[in-house]
Amino acid sequence: MGRAERAQAGDGTELARAHATLARGVDFFILYADHRMGGGVGTPPHARVLGNRLRELDRFLNILADEAALCLGQRQSEVRAFTRLRNTPNKLRLVRAMMGIDGAEHARHRAIGRISACLHHCGGRIHAISLLDDIVAAAGAPESEDRCASLPPDRAVLRIAPWILVSIAEFYREIGDQLVDQVRSRPCSLTFRPEPSM
């Protein structure tokens, strides 16, 4: 049975499975961040490893968004195109639009994406000073600007404090939890709407 058929049958098993996978990924990422706590704020991350771990979290959330869209009744003709979307912030915005909800987390999520790209593709080398603003946005806490400003500036290598990594991981957890709660609370939840016959 394919993904669309599972959703048509009202099966929320894959939504729960995707949510659990994201939760495990977040827990693993936090363990990684906690392990780095002893290294101090100024210790450069293993850029590509960290970039890959951020990309993995994003991929888990991307799959969860696919399952959420199926449970909300995405038309079969749209399923394949939707699942091919790799830009997770944009995909989440589409899912939120299906529910009539504004995606307030979009800007922060995009900032995390730019940080991840810098780590993965550029080995953490900073090519745009705006990445420092992205660090502040990714941290997400009201007091984060002051805390980030206290980090030793380094325009050559992207440095991310462990507390920011934890904040990013918890952000992914929060998005996933909210998404599942919102899907399950919808009247159409777990019921697939077939395409209207012509």
Q: Within a domain: residue 16?
A: yes
pLDDT for 169: 96
Q: Residue 135, exposed/middle/buried by CB under 10 A (0-12, 13-18, 19+)?
A: buried
pLDDT for 142: 58
pLDDT for 58: 96
Q: Each residue of 158-193: pLDDT tens digit?
A: 778 888 999 999 999 999 999 999 898 875 544 433
Q: Within a domain: residue 196?
A: no
CA distance 196 to 44: 55
Domain total of the chain: 1
Q: Within a domain: residue 52?
A: yes
CA distance 115 to 158: 8
- 1 confidence band (pLDDT: 50, 70, 90): very low
Q: Which domain holds residue 91?
A: 3-39+47-184
Q: Within a domain: residue 195?
A: no
Q: Within a domain: residue 193?
A: no
Find out whether 160 and 115 touch, Cβ atoms under 8 Å. Answer: yes
Residues 6+ apart with CB under 8 A from 195: 75, 76, 77
In DSSP terms, 14 is beta-bridged to none
CA distance 172 to 57: 7
Read off the tokens for 78: 């749209």
Q: Which amino acid is at 52?
A: N
Find out whether 49 and 120 touch, Cβ atoms under 8 Å. Answer: no
Q: Within a domain: residue 197?
A: no
Dihedral sign of CA atoms 196, 82, 60, 178 in order: negative
pLDDT for 173: 97
Please count the CA atoms within 13 angstroms of the CA of 94 that sit on its side-chain side: 21
Q: Within a domain: residue 198?
A: no
Residues 6+ apart with CB under 8 A from 9: 1, 192
pLDDT for 170: 96
Q: Within a domain: residue 194?
A: no
In DSSP terms, 125 is beta-bridged to 157
